[in-house]
Amino acid sequence: QQKVQQSPESLIVPEGGMASLNCTSSDRNVDYFWWYRQHSGKSPKMLMSIFSNGEKEEGRFTVHLNKASLHTSLHIRDSQPSDSALYLCAAGDTNAYKVIFGKGTHLHVLP
């Protein structure tokens, strides 16, 4: 079974709107998360990482992490058409030297 679940599978938001993406790990040993963005025809590039409970903000992007529920979320405010991409969540288990990617959320920002 998929150990990293992302929702929704697809998301459509208008330009200037807020996009909220979710990710949960079912592996209790996971201790850190990353968000990667993959534009069509390109390879994934890291957007943000988070290892501690709470919130981290970088420009229009905010990431939240709740380690107790192993849930992280990515919020994009003032969404732009250039934000349209596949957003991948990755969860890492330091002790097992393992990183698992979710299947991603396809974000479409309509101009």
Partner 1 sequence: NAGVIQTPRHKVTGKGQEATLWCEPISGHSAVFWYRQTIVQGLEFLTYFRNQAPIDDSGMPKERFSAQMPNQSHSTLKIQSTQPQDSAVYLCASSLDWGVYEQYFGPGTRLTVL
Q: Which residues of this protein are in contact with partner 1, per CB under 8 A?
A: 32, 34, 42-46, 49, 51, 88, 92, 94, 97-104
Q: Is 18 or 53 the residue whose CB approaches partner 1 more closely?
A: 53
Residue with tokens 């192993």: 70
Beta carbons of 31 and 92 less than 8 angstroms apart: yes
Residue 82 CB neighbour total at 10 angstroms: 8
Q: For the CB of residue 75, give the shortest distance to partner 1 in the complex, in Å.
A: 20
Amino acid at 4: V
- Percent of the chain that is helix, strand, coil (3-state, to 5): 5, 60, 40
Q: Is 37 or 83 the residue whose CB approaches partner 1 more closely?
A: 37
Q: Is 66 or 94 the residue whose CB approaches partner 1 more closely?
A: 94
Q: For the CB of residue 97, give the shortest distance to partner 1 in the complex, in Å.
A: 6
